Amino acid sequence: MPVSQFMAAANAHYYATRDPLGPGGDFVTAPEISQMFGELVGLWCADLWDRAGRPEIAWVELGPGRGTLAADARRAMARAGLTPPVHLVETSPTLRAAQAERLADAHWHDSVETLPTDRPLIVVANEFFDALPIRQLIRRSDAWHERLVACQDTLFLPIAGKPVPGELLPERLRDAPAGAILETSPAAVGIVRTLAGRIAGQGGALLGIDYGYEGPALGDTLQAVRGHGFANPFDTPGEVDLSAHVDFATLAAAAQAAGAVAWGPVSQRDLLGQLGIDARTSALARATPERQGQVLADRNRLMGEMGELFRALALTQRDWPVPAGFGA
């Protein structure tokens, strides 16, 4: 089967059968590191909404995990006078149950297609696009081939499938060296195109945070994580978290083609810095002196290596203001 089908099936099983962010889980995300992350994302939303003239919006999160970001963002938005209905796009029943504990009155969706159509949408997504299936092409000496995953007994391994016509590839990548890999994410592009079209028509914005690059570029970024370490992506499918780096340039282009304005990407560090993480760190440290060291350590984790690797892309409707952190 194509790598995309393998990744979709493996991750569907993986997320449906566990909370990967809980104690004894496989990885940690920014909202699980510190409440400041969700609070600052909430402030980003509230500020934009305020400067857009305080319309009635729906607030949306894609792939909300344990619901931590949404709960923290909601608290911060409420303090700024924004108390919108919460819509969560989540396919995992296990994670939906975890989200319901923190966000009992939310509305759940299997896909972005069923989100409200009658009002502006403010959409946030942290480490969502990187979990969506990617296609891979691999260069052999003769041509590019679709990369497939073959199964022999219980062993899965990547192989080269049928050759792909060279004309389908960007000119500068056609003669890449043997072994080169090119990735695309039709699923991520499809979701961005849909949401950008909705935002262009209904108003609103999107903030997506992930680790990624500005492609299309060569490289194999499919990775597996288990127990906070790297694993082989083709071993034990459905028992390891599969992700791939996000191609921000391609997502921004898809959004623009659908009529939205694309901003960034900017680094997580720059975004959180501009949204006031240092003021929030000081306030939290003052409010809970016994946790001062931890608050500072968490701040440094979000702003250190992670702050450099993770980047944020924003989309807005043409008439909406410039989002905080993305201006000149």
- Other beta carbons within 10 Å of 66: 20
DSSP string, 38-92: HHHHHHHHHHHHHHTT----EEEEES-TTSHHHHHHHHHHHHTT----EEEE---
Residue nearest to ligand SAH (CB): 63
Mark the segment that binds ligand SAH (CB under 6 A) among 76-84, 128-136, 248-256, 312-320. 128-136
Task: State which residue, 28 or 150, has the beta carbon closest to ligand SAH.
Answer: 28
Segment contacting ligand SAH (CB under 6 A): 63-71, 175-183, 199-207, 213-221?
63-71
**Exactly one of 39, 47, 72, 127 binds ligand SAH (CB under 6 A); which one?**
127
Q: How far apart are CA 302 and CA 308, in angstroms?
A: 9
User: Exposure pattern of 67-103 as b/e (b: 16+ CB <10 Å)?
Assistant: bbbbbbbbebbeeeebebebbbbbebeebbebbeeeb
* Residue with smaller CB distance to ligand SAH, 89 or 272: 89
User: Which position among 21, 121, 192, 207 is part of the footprint of ligand SAH (CB under 6 A)?
Assistant: 21
Query: Smallest distance, Å, CB 145 to ligand SAH?
Result: 26
249: closest CA among 219, 220, 216? 216
Which of the ranges 39-47, 62-70, 290-298, 310-318 carries the binding residues for ligand SAH, by CB under 6 A?
62-70
Which range of residues in 50-58, 123-131, 210-218, 270-278 is near ligand SAH by CB under 6 A? 123-131
User: Shortest gap between Cβ of 213 and ligand SAH (angstroms)?
Assistant: 19
Judged by CB under 6 A, does residue 4 bind ligand SAH? Answer: no
Contact indicator for 205, 164 with CB cutoff of 8 Å: no
Nearer to ligand SAH, 9 or 164 (CB): 9
Q: Which residue has the tokens 């709960």?
A: 71
Q: Nearer to ligand SAH by C-beta: 34 or 317?
A: 34
Question: What residues between 80 and 109 interact with ligand SAH by CB under 6 A?
Answer: 89-92, 95
The token pair that represents 285 in the structure block: 């440290």
Nearer to ligand SAH, 88 or 138 (CB): 88
Binding-site size for ligand SAH (CB under 6 A) equals 20
Contact 211, 311 (CB under 8 A): yes
Give the contacts of 147 (CB within 8 A, at least 6 positions apart).
2, 3, 135, 136, 137, 138, 158, 159, 160, 161, 181
Establish if 248 lies at the interface with ligand SAH (CB under 6 A): no
Taking the least distance from each CB to ligand SAH, the nearer of 123 and 169 is 123
Exactly one of 34, 126, 185, 202 binds ligand SAH (CB under 6 A); which one?
126
* Cβ atoms 16, 94 nearer than 8 A: yes
Question: With respect to ligand SAH, which residue has the nearer C-beta, 268 or 317?
Answer: 268
Tokens of 57: 């919006």
Confirm or reject binding of residue 65 to ligand SAH (CB under 6 A). Answer: yes
Q: What 8-state DSSP symbol labels residue 2?
A: B
Residue type, 185: S
Cβ neighbors of 90 (< 8 A, separation 6 or more) are 63, 64, 96, 99, 108, 109
Closest CB 11 distance from ligand SAH, rounded Å: 6
Write down the least CB distance from residue 181 to ligand SAH, Å: 22
Question: Where do contacts with ligand SAH occur on this chain (CB under 6 A)?
Answer: 11, 15, 21, 29, 31-32, 63-65, 69, 89-92, 95, 126-128, 131-132
